[in-house]
Amino acid sequence: MAVLVGNRVTKRFGGLEALSKIELEVEEQGIHSIIGPNGAGKTTFFNCVTGFYSPEEGEILLNGQNITGLSPDRVTHLGVSRTYQNIRLFKNMTTVENILVGMHPLLKSGLIGGILRDPRTMREEHAAVEEAKRLLQFVGLTGKGDLMAKNLPYGQQRRLEIARALASKPTLLLLDEPTAGMNPSETQEMMNFTRKLRDELGITILLIEHQMRVVMGISDLITVLDFGQKIAEGTPAEIQKNSRVIEAYLGRGAASGLGQATATA
């Protein structure tokens, strides 16, 4: 069953159609990648799913429920979590606190509980901190819990962002260029980690990625966007052979040349 369904999703900014009639189905426990040149509308699609933008037309279904136009916090409560292209941690909070904020939808204590610290609130807090430590261990940040997020090195910030996204126990995780700015060995690590998320936690993953090696290596299914249009969809092997994709990336002339090259190869 499809976890996420995009039905003719259209988003316009003034006269510009950033997304036009995008059809997308993300299968449960799959790793689905969205690729495309800069400005293709990949992040816009993420923003539509997570409620930052409200699409002008079409609908988005999460596990069969219509989430089109819901506010970001509602969408998160329904089990969608995301990371950002440029890391957006709460920089002046500690690593553990970042994760605790991520757990927000699962916790209940409010103003009165916070002041009184009644047994129920305290139990909840202790459990939350324990869970946060477990998540830190899961992403390999054990012992860094009390550091300010801004003081972590780049790669660890990426992993903390994922840990924070995991904290709300999402069914669907959107990763926006998780390997951006990483060297080959870090990239490899991130690929393995992404697989581990799916295999161990059973989370469905929708991924925006630029590095072809990563995309081809871990995706079950790839959707290619260009100028807000879906131009192709298929398995990595199919996408590699698709002439429209090559054209979008390398230009018209190259497409024919490369097409021949792949054909001969």
Binding residues (CB under 8 A) for another protein: these are 50-52, 71-73, 75-77, 82, 84, 88, 90-97, 100-102, 104-105, 107, 109-111, 113-115, 117, 121, 125, 129, 132-133, 136, 140-146, 148, 156, 164, 168, 189, 193
User: HSE (CB half, 13 Å, CA atoms) of 263?
Assistant: 8
Taking Cα atoms as reference points, which of 153, 103, 98, 151 lies closest to residue 125? 103
For the bound state, the minimum distance from the C-beta of residue 65 to another protein, rounded and expressed in Å, comes to: 16
d(CA 189, CA 218): 12
Q: How far is the CB of 69 from another protein (least distance, A)?
A: 14
Nearer to another protein, 1 or 112 (CB): 112
Residue number with CB closer to another protein (33 or 121): 121
Q: How far is the CB of 144 from another protein (least distance, A)?
A: 7
- Minimum distance of another protein from residue 20's CB (angstroms): 25
- Measured from the CB atom, the residue of 20 and 95 that comes closer to another protein is 95
Report the 10 Å Cβ neighbour count for 131: 16
Tell me how far, at minimum, the Cβ of 31 lies from another protein, in Å: 19
Complex with another protein: residue 55 or 255, whichever CB lies closer: 55
> What are the residues whose beta carbons fall under 8 Å from the beta carbon of 99, sequence distance 6 or more?
132, 135, 136, 160, 163, 164, 167
Complex with another protein: residue 174 or 248, whichever CB lies closer? 174
* Cβ proximity to another protein, 105 vs 236, nearer residue: 105
Closest residue by Cα to residue 63 from 75, 71, 73? 75
Q: In the beta sheet, which residues pair with residue 233? A: 223
CB of 120 vs another protein, minimal distance in Å:
12
Structure tokens at 35: 């690729």
DSSP E strands, the chain: 2-13, 16-27, 31-35, 57-62, 65-66, 80-82, 172-176, 204-208, 221-226, 229-234
